[in-house]
Amino acid sequence: MAHYRFVADYPETGEAEVLFDGEPIERVPYTETSDDTVTITSGAGRSNVARSILEHAVETLDRDLGVDPAGCMSAFRSEFLEGFGSEEAWPIGLPAVEEFLDEQEQA
């Protein structure tokens, strides 16, 4: 199953990365003025993780979801990332992200 996983120290880059099926995804900052740091332990880093996963999922699913990833980033962060340590929230399956996006479209 296709899934996302957070890695605190990815061997190929030496940095924290969000992987999709073992490969790093593009980092998408949660705002135009924020950096692209991805962490699970800080607010801004979690927001970057959430935005990066949502943007990647929309591109990967390749269908019109009618949802702006930036607009539902906070809800995704709350549902999937808040209150977890660096490894506890993972993996997050692509079907779970797709279901979340479908629910946001209906809201």
Q: Where are the domains of the chain?
A: 3-106
Reading across the β-sheet that carries 3-10, which strands appear in turn?
23-24, 15-20, 3-10, 92-93
Tell me: the pLDDT tens digits for 51-88?
A: 999 999 999 998 888 889 989 999 999 898 876 655 55
The pLDDT assigned to 6 comes to 87
35 falls in which pLDDT band (50, 70, 90)?
low
Distances (CA, A) of 45 to 18, 54, 81: 11, 14, 11
Q: pTM score > 0.75 for this model?
A: yes
For residue 46, is pLDDT > 70?
yes
Q: Measure the CA–CA gap between 70 and 55, rounded to whole angstroms.
A: 8
The pLDDT assigned to 72 comes to 93
Tell me: the pLDDT tens digits for 88-104?
A: 557 899 999 999 999 99
Instruction: Report the DSSP beta bridge partners of residue 3.
Output: 93
The pLDDT assigned to 64 comes to 84
Q: Taking the mean position of all CA atoms in its chain, how far away is CA 47?
A: 8
For residue 3, is pLDDT > 90?
yes
**CB 48, CB 34: distance < 8 Å:** yes
For residue 47, is pLDDT > 70?
yes
The pLDDT assigned to 66 comes to 87
Angle between helix axes 94-106 and 43-61 (nearest 10 degrees) is 90
Query: What phi and psi, each to the nearest 5 degrees, are found at residue 30?
Result: -75, -20
